[in-house]
Amino acid sequence: KLGNATAKAELGRATWKYFHTVMARFPEKPTEDQQDALRSYIHLFARLYPCGECAEHFQQHLKKYPPQVSSRQAAAGWACFIHNEVNVMLEKPEFDCTNLGAFYDCGCAEDEGANKH
């Protein structure tokens, strides 16, 4: 049981890191197509998340708080907010979303524009 909890937490940490990094790299001024892509991605991510109980909870959160995809700032702020919803549910401390800044810098600044097909 402890092994399960540890694996679930590890998966969660790795996933959140990736999830917030996606938002931090989303275009500042996304096209309609890029906004659609992020919205679809988030819904599929929630459906396919490998921890079934987590996926179930997260889909409920999404229904209540639909993804914000109008800009990088909106997406990053929304992701921070929704992660805080999970934090509250799990009785973890809330993260200060004004401190996001360069927290999710992927070290790929030289690719700026590479994801703006």
User: Nearest 10 degrees: CA dihedral of 48, 117, 20, 41?
Assistant: -20
Q: Give, as ranges, the residues between 18 and 47 that touch ligand FAD (CB under 6 A).
A: 20
| String of contacts with ligand FAD for each residue 84-103, x by CB under 6 A | x-xx--x-x--x--------
Among the candidate windows 31-39, 62-70, 80-88, 105-113, which touches ligand FAD by CB under 6 A? 80-88
Angle at 27 between CA 72 and CA 9, to 5 degrees: 55
* Residues with Cβ within 8 Å of residue 65, at least 6 apart in sequence: 78, 81, 82, 85
Site for ligand FAD, rule CB under 6 A: 8-9, 12-13, 15-16, 20, 49, 53-54, 57-58, 80, 83-84, 86-87, 90, 92, 95
